[in-house]
Structure 1
Amino acid sequence: MNNQNNKRFNIFICLFLIYILFGYATKPVFSATEQQRLENKLIDFMTKHENTAAGVATIAVSEDEIIYKMKGYADIEKQTRVDEETVFEWGSVSKILIWISVLQLVEDEKLALEMDIKTYLPHDFRLKTSFDTPVTLQHLMNHTAGFDDSYTDLMIYHPTKIPSLREALEAADIKQVFPPGQFVAYSNYGASLAAYIVEEVSGLDYREYIQKHIFDPLHMTKTAIDPEQNDNQWVKEQRQKVQGYTEDLQLIEPNHYVIPMYPSGGVMGVASDLQKLLQALLAEDGTPLFKHHNTIDFLFKPSLYYPESSIPRIANGLFFLPSASEQVFGHGGNTISFSSSIYLDRVERIGVLVLTNMANESTFTLRIPEIIFGNYTHIGNHTNLENSSEWNGIYEPARVPRHGFSKVYGLFLRSKAKQTGSHDLMMNDFYYSQAEPNIYITEDDFSGYALDVYSKHPETKKILSSVHTDLLYVPFYKHFLEWGLMILGVFSALFSFGFMIVTVFKKLRKKQQSKLHVIQHLLNVFMFINVIWIGYKTLSMTTYSSLTPFLTANIFYMAISFVISGYLLFLLKNKKTYKYQTSIRIMTLISTIILCVNILYWDFYF
């Protein structure tokens, strides 16, 4: 009996030693070798691409092991290098603070994710809903509330007045165009609406709430959230020392805008402050952000999957990053002149952040996370592949504006899926191989955009789901007619330009031209220039209200054109003229009608 006990004891000791030597040793931190390997890879990568970068700060964290690298210039012209006191704009990475705040209030039982948000809003708040189905906070976190997008009121250069968060939300040119839960359409408005709910429920201004419940506990003393950085004078001064650049390193002027819906993209600060947030999100118990470890686990628990699959898509506002571990979530961000990203693997306790002073940058913000987390390899059914031709067609992001004149930009954001081989697809010149039915993977783009999932939909027939938005199938006839209408509008405007040039030559040669024709073509030219101006101002970041006079001018144009066209029709019917004059009259009528139809169809009026 004693021998048997001794034998069991010896086995126990052996197993315990094995655990100590191997189980404990595999604690998910960067080993010295692994850390050096990753650090060398980051150095090599940043050195290789330093000629394409303005300024970059990247921090990789695993437990207490940190890799901290900086490269380039905060101001190329002044040769000011990026350092520990360089301020970067977070862009949409700011939304992480919103979702943390929401879950903090859920912990305190002041919010419920499945409750109608009207429960938490003032009764007189002008909510942009159009459907009877309630919008919940979970819809806002998953970007499935059904709101469309807008290109106005996003960022404003030197506004005369900074609106309150409520005023900015109520003034936003946004509509609910889909029933809640139907489509994913990334929404700055929806996220800012969640921030306003935090404001209402907590009784604190959102800026005060973030300062008290996130910045102060994490000792983030060099980060500002106010639209004009009035909450942190040091950050405000440091921001003036940083310039923003294009991908080809051209200075962007101006590059410092105010964001009215600031919770969705207005935070800025030094890299080491964002590192503190990163480490808090990696902490096992989530302190000091959360009271219960279940809350931090819930934050990173998938709340939405890709259609008809088990692939995570969103975890309560955080987006899935296809990677080797298949458990990485985070967020990217862009402003006029900055790009950023932050991604975490809570299972392995590894995280990385990247901050740059470049617009629409992805070489660093997405490639560096790939280096840290590894490339995605899909594990699925490779044997029963589908005929990919069923997904052929034209797709448009659900996120685009679907009302008002901004909807015209959707034409330029459409993508065409085309079968290549028997089982694969081409999309935007990228090759997507079929991993299994409905699921297509590309190695031609960054991992953040590597995954496309196709599925059937009762309303749009078929749908393409990508990282931030669903892309809805556009019937070819609609695509053809809309582009045709647009092209005819351009040719009509060019005809009017040509007519006015001929009129000037005739005037110089003292030949008469019908004044009615001249007036109408002059109006056509002015209207076309007005539309171009509206588009230019919108892309230059402005408010919808500032465009009201130009949109209203198009109504007067249509009214005057209606009168002139009516009279021209009367003359065509009742007054005989030379064949040349009749042709000019008919062309004038046709070009005017085409331009008016474009204004009406694309909503270029107030």
Structure 2
Amino acid sequence: MPVFLSRSAPLGLALAAALVLAPAAASAEPAAPPPPSLGLTRESAEEFVDQRVPELLERHGAPGVVVSVVGDGAPLASAAHGTADLSTGTPLDPEVHGIPTASVAKSFTAVAVLQLAERGEVDLHEDVNTYLPEDLRVPDTHEGQPVTLHHLLTHSPGFDERTEMDDPEDAGSQRGLTEFLRDNTPDRVFPPGRFTAYSNYGTGLAGFVVQEVSGVPFEEYVERNVFAPLGMDGTRFGQLHEETDLVTGHRPDGSPVPYPHIPLVPAGAAVTTDDDMARFMLALLGGGELDGERVLGPDWTGAMLDRQFEVHPDTTAMGYGAYEHRRGTPRTVGHGGDLDGLHTGYLVVPEIDAGVFVAVNGDDAGPDAGDNPFHDLRFAVLNAFADTFAPAGDDGTGGERTDAADTGAYTGSYVTTRRSTSGSARIVTLFDNVTVRDAGDGSLRVRGAIMPEEHWLPVGNDVFETADGGERLAFVVEDGRAVAVYLEANPTSGYDRVPVWGSAGVHLGAVAVSLLLLLSGAVQLRRPGGAVRTAAAVSAGLTALACLTGVGLVVYAVTDLNRLQEWLLSGSAALSLPLGLAVPLTLVTAGFAVTAWVRGWWGPVRRVHYSLLPVAALAVVAVGAQYGLVWPFA
């Protein structure tokens, strides 16, 4: 998922990232108490931010990092290291440079919604359409199963992905919250409460409810009722490209990234400071109160951080505008955020009254940089904090490893629940998918873009873990068969089962065979003979070229995720135009194939070969259409 999308989607897209917190390594030993931790004091917190964090920055190679730590009801330490803007060499200074929150802002929006619920102005379990004007109401796709604010705050309404952004340089194209919500009503892919599927639209809709019910513009409501009472003077919702003195986001090559116009303001368009995030974490740890000012009652604050939606009892779960960072005790809860070239996250540990916030203004480029978004500098800092001050013990949900009774119940193909049902954004499912195979010894082989390991061992209750016990997969099983699988690192989205013919592996195999056939046709027909037969050869050649160009551009985009993200968010036809042109060319080539049989062109073998060319092109186009890659239907 990016974008303020989660990076749990195809490594940069919705792989613009989860806005998800990756777990620290959890113990695999049963019923063990939490191991000893380094006591969190002002001195140990300062040592962490001044020594450990710079070490991680050097290894990951990001431009800069800001971190703040709280504990025992007070700020303990904060620091900034590195550069705010590589092009100027300006040192990163949190007193000068504002920090875009990305999806950390969802926690602010959740507090606003819970305030209304606490006052009885909304019911979290009432049909959300009760609070919406007619032109913004959620369609009744699943009769008798309305979407509620509870679903919106836990990413479980079942919406398809809608995260378009606007060009910051084109004022005419920039949409407001109401306009975007009205014109981009998402499809309801799943019944509400079925699975989690990360939804920026859902949080945007929840923010609109705040505006509609309170009668105050969303940004103004949160300023008055959340930020001002907590003394968060440097925090506000608004468009990032209109702000000055923000840190600059950077790609791995060091190039700067302009901030987009974000229509779904409540989902990620906010600016903060390290000191303000410290105050926000202290309020959450203080039961909704800070310095005598209360923004939320203790019960409602507890509800925000509690397990409000779980897909499996033995893995991480969703709170309201927050989610668990890992399994085990002590519990760590928070939220992450991603924009192109900027990554943020916070977590609080209520049991030890502690919290940490981190912001990184660039993608990793050092020796520890990798393709998995769960391993970036932001997560490295969060995990290091948890491992140092709140190492995880077992919560009793795992037990000893066992033999899986029937691994066949889990094997198959799964695609991300966070997916679009229209447009070129459907390409996300082409590489954000998981394949599960029986390893032959009671364990599983699992492959996927963000899978940390391939080999997974059973621990019972449809849960598997890595050999070191550091990560878990939990399967949702119905009637003896898995229907979905979730990686413990990301409770905000999972993977639901698809039939064999719907798997990316089958689609890619079909495309590979078809392209080979099209290439062979281009070679065989280079000496056609006669004007009409020459036209037939040219038609076949152009059809092959269109298909090869279309597939080639997809391959190029996958190898340059920033380019892919740019094309998808801008609505570019670069990915869909070649296969769009292949459609009429395929029809013309098919016409020539019929003519070849009627008029007896060439020998039988060559006629069969030529006839297979439009079939092969049709297969490529059909697969492209599955992923929204055929213009103008994309």
Query: TM-score normalised to the size of structure 2?
Result: 0.78
Asked if 1:266 corresponds to 2:277, the answer is no
- One-letter amino acid of the structure 2 residue matched with residue 124 of structure 1: D
In 2, distance between residues paired with 1:31 and 1:254? 38
Q: Aligned Cα RMSD in Å? A: 3.6
Asked if 1:66 corresponds to 2:85, the answer is no
Gaps (5+ residues) in structure 1? 1-29, 231-235
* Partner of residue 187, structure 2: 175
Asked whether the 8 Å contact 2:515–2:544 carries over to 1, the reply is no
Asked if 1:589 corresponds to 2:608, the answer is no
* Partner of residue 597, structure 2: 573
Alignment deviations for residues 319-365 of structure 1 (CA, whole Å, 9 cap, x no partner): 11226633221111111011111111234321111111123533234
Alignment deviations for residues 504-544 of structure 1 (CA, whole Å, 9 cap, x no partner): xx79x999961233135325534653576689598233577
* Partner of residue 319, structure 1: 323
Q: Structure 1 284/542 Cα, relative in aligned 2: closer, same or farther at 3 Å?
A: same
In 2, distance between residues paired with 1:345 and 1:533? 45
Asked whether the 8 Å contact 2:413–2:500 carries over to 1, the reply is yes
In the TM superposition, what are the counterparts of 1:331-410 in structure 2 within 5 Å?
331-359=335-363, 360=373, 361=376, 362-380=379-397, 382-383=399-400, 385-387=402-404, 389-390=407-408, 391-410=410-429
How many equivalent residue pairs?
557
Asked if 1:456 corresponds to 2:477, the answer is yes
Q: Which moved more, 1:460-469 or 1:426-435?
A: 426-435
Asked whether the 8 Å contact 1:88–1:356 carries over to 2, the reply is no
Any idea what SS the aligned residue of 2:348 has? strand
Q: Structure 1 421/44 Cα, relative in aligned 2: closer, same or farther at 3 Å?
A: farther
Deviation, 1:416, is 3.2
Alignment deviations for residues 426-445 of structure 1 (CA, whole Å, 9 cap, x no partner): 54435544444323344769
In 1, distance between residues paired with 2:613 and 2:435? 36
In 1, distance between residues paired with 2:154 and 2:546? 44
Alignment deviations for residues 56-108 of structure 1 (CA, whole Å, 9 cap, x no partner): 11111011251212221112342222222222222211111111111011122
Q: Structure 1 252/491 Cα, relative in aligned 2: closer, same or farther at 3 Å?
A: farther
* Partner of residue 32, structure 2: none
In 2, distance between residues paired with 1:33 and 1:205? 40
For 2:102, which of 91, 110, 129 is the aligned residue? 91
* Partner of residue 9, structure 1: none
Over alpha carbons, which structure has the higher Rg? 1
- One-letter amino acid of the structure 2 residue matched with residue 276 of structure 1: R
- One-letter amino acid of the structure 2 residue matched with residue 519 of structure 1: S
* Partner of residue 214, structure 2: 202
Asked whether the 8 Å contact 2:278–2:357 carries over to 1, the reply is yes
Asked whether the 8 Å contact 2:167–2:174 carries over to 1, the reply is no
* Partner of residue 440, structure 1: 464
Q: Structure 1 351/254 Cα, relative in aligned 2: closer, same or farther at 3 Å?
A: closer
Any idea what SS the aligned residue of 1:363 has? helix
For 1:139, which of 151, 168, 183 is the aligned residue? 151
Query: TM-score normalised to the size of structure 1?
Result: 0.81
Q: Structure 1 559/439 Cα, relative in aligned 2: closer, same or farther at 3 Å?
A: same
Asked whether the 8 Å contact 1:156–1:259 carries over to 2, the reply is no
Deviation, 1:475, is 4.3
Deviation, 1:408, is 3.3
In 1, distance between residues paired with 2:518 and 2:137? 39
In 2, distance between residues paired with 1:334 and 1:369? 21
Any idea what SS the aligned residue of 2:244 has? helix
In 2, distance between residues paired with 1:489 and 1:201? 55
Any idea what SS the aligned residue of 2:213 has? helix
Q: Structure 1 425/534 Cα, relative in aligned 2: closer, same or farther at 3 Å?
A: closer
Asked whether the 8 Å contact 1:342–1:352 carries over to 2, the reply is yes
Deviation, 1:139, is 1.0
Any idea what SS the aligned residue of 1:104 has? helix
Q: Structure 1 547/499 Cα, relative in aligned 2: closer, same or farther at 3 Å?
A: farther
Q: Structure 1 598/451 Cα, relative in aligned 2: closer, same or farther at 3 Å?
A: closer
* Partner of residue 21, structure 1: none
Asked if 1:36 corresponds to 2:47, the answer is no
* Partner of residue 301, structure 2: 296
Any idea what SS the aligned residue of 2:352 has? coil
Gaps (5+ residues) in structure 2? 1-36, 364-372
* Partner of residue 91, structure 2: 81
Asked if 1:220 corresponds to 2:200, the answer is no
Asked whether the 8 Å contact 1:99–1:316 carries over to 2, the reply is yes
In the TM superposition, what are the counterparts of 1:112-127 in structure 2 within 5 Å?
112-125=123-136, 127=138
In 1, distance between residues paired with 2:615 and 2:347? 55
Q: Report which structure shows greater RCO (CA 8 Å, sep ≥6).
A: 2
Asked whether the 8 Å contact 1:255–1:337 carries over to 2, the reply is no
